[in-house]
């Protein structure tokens, strides 16, 4: 099975388009925090200065894309030092209703900053070593994407669709952005060692096979020894290799993954708590409830009721 696909499906990766912009200088906007979202800004024309609360800052140019994986608040400006009121205030004052182009100012259209801005959301409570390995932000430039033809083609198509104003363009961009996220992960491997290690684990012949077993059959009573035997490694070598790539031990990974599967089943199925407990490898509903409450701070039944 495709472990990465299973992870993104279970965590409920979903793309959404914010808006496309036509911002004439001087301009600045403060984007609020959104913990369950990964935001992106693709510069089509003009320049963009981004500063995060940590103090990290970067200047972007046409063709550059910035991904802010953990939904951190950040400031966007045409140049550093601009006043940057909250996004909600800017939207209200501009009269933007969420459709078409988000316009600020009335300057030279050839000097304006045109962007495609969107985000990827995850299920409430979604967690995985893959998400934890993502950096505060990363930037991919047009020249860097020359080695990643899939990503470059997706971004070209996104740009064409969103600036076409044709029927279904927004829906097309939303679907394409989900592909974009996966391709951005692949691109980020070179720049970020933690992310590289997690994605390497998926490709590793033995650790990748162990991950497939856990993802395909999370209800099985796996142990470190049984997983090591299944992939032809000694117990100690398997545990060491798994932790070095994933960042946690095999049993910790399995316990957390079972709870993520349970969270998805509570969201998306009509299975009872008892059935979900059995499907995710718990010996009893009581054991499942204790583990779930310890992780998410609420009992499974109460979590499901909160969704209604």
Q: What is the pLDDT of residues 83-99, one digit of tens each?
A: 999 999 999 999 998 87
pLDDT-based confidence at residue 145 (cuts at 50, 70, 90): confident
In the chain, ranges of CATH 1.10.10.60 domains: 204-306
- State the architecture of 3-192 in CATH terms: Sandwich (2.60)
Mean pLDDT of 161-174: 73
The pTM score is 0.85
| Upper half-sphere CA count for residue 193 (Cβ side, 13 Å) | 2
Is the separation of the CB atoms in 218 and 261 below 8 Å? yes
The answer to whether the CB of 136 falls within 8 A of the CB of 34 is: no
Pick from 105-109, 171-175, 275-279 the range whose average pLDDT is largest. Answer: 275-279
Give 4-58 pLDDT, tens digit per residue.
999 999 999 988 878 889 999 999 999 999 888 899 999 999 999 999 989 999 9
* CATH code linked to domain 204-306: 1.10.10.60
Q: CB-hemisphere CA count at 13 Å for 14? A: 11
**If you count them, how many residues does the chain have?**
308
Q: Which residues pair with 14 in a beta bridge?
A: 121
Q: Where in the chain is the domain with CATH 2.60.120.10?
A: 3-192
User: Could you give the count of Cα atoms lying within 13 Å of 257 in the half-sphere of its Cβ?
Assistant: 28
If you write DSSP's letter for every residue of 198-263 in order, what string do you get?
Answer: HHHHHHSTTHHHHHHHHHH-TTS---HHHHHHHTT--HHHHHHHHHHHHSS-HHHHHHHHHHHHHH
Residue 198 to residue 195: CA distance in whole angstroms: 5
* H/E segment holding residue 75: strand 74-77
Determine the pLDDT at residue 165.
66
Task: Extract the tokens encoding 222.
Answer: 């796996």
């Amino acid at each position: 099975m495709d472990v990465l696909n299973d992870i993104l499906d279970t965590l409920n990766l979903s793309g959404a388009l914010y808006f496309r912009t036509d911002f004439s200088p001087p301009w600045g906007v403060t984007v609020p925090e959104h913990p369950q979202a990964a935001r992106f800004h693709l510069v089509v024309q003009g320049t963009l200065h981004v500063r995060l609360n940590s103090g990290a800052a970067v200047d972007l140019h046409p063709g550059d894309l910035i991904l802010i994986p953990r939904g951190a608040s950040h400031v966007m400006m045409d140049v550093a030092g601009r006043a940057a009121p909250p996004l909600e205030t800017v939207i209200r004052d501009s009269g933007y209703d969420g459709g078409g182009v988000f316009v600020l100012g009335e300057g030279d259209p050839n000097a304006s900053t045109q962007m495609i801005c969107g985000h990827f959301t995850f299920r409430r409570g979604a967690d995985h070593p893959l998400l934890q390995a993502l950096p505060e932000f990363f930037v991919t430039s047009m020249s860097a994407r020359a080695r990643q033809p899939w990503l470059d083609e997706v971004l070209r198509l996104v740009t064409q669709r969103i600036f076409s104003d044709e029927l279904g363009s927004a829906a097309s961009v939303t679907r394409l952005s989900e592909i974009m996220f996966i391709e951005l992960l692949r691109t980020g491997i070179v720049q970020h060692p933690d992310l590289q290690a997690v994605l390497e684990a998926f490709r590793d012949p033995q650790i990748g096979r162990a991950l497939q077993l856990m993802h395909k059959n999370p209800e099985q009573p796996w142990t470190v020894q049984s997983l090591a035997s299944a992939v032809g490694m000694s117990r100690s070598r398997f545990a060491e290799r798994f932790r070095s790539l994933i960042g946690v031990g095999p049993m910790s990974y399995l316990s957390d993954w079972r709870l993520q599967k349970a969270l998805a089943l509570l969201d998306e199925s009509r299975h009872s708590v008892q059935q979900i407990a059995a499907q995710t490898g718990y010996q009893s509903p009581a054991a499942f409830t204790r583990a779930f409450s310890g992780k998410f701070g609420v009992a499974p039944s109460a979590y499901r009721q909160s969704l209604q």
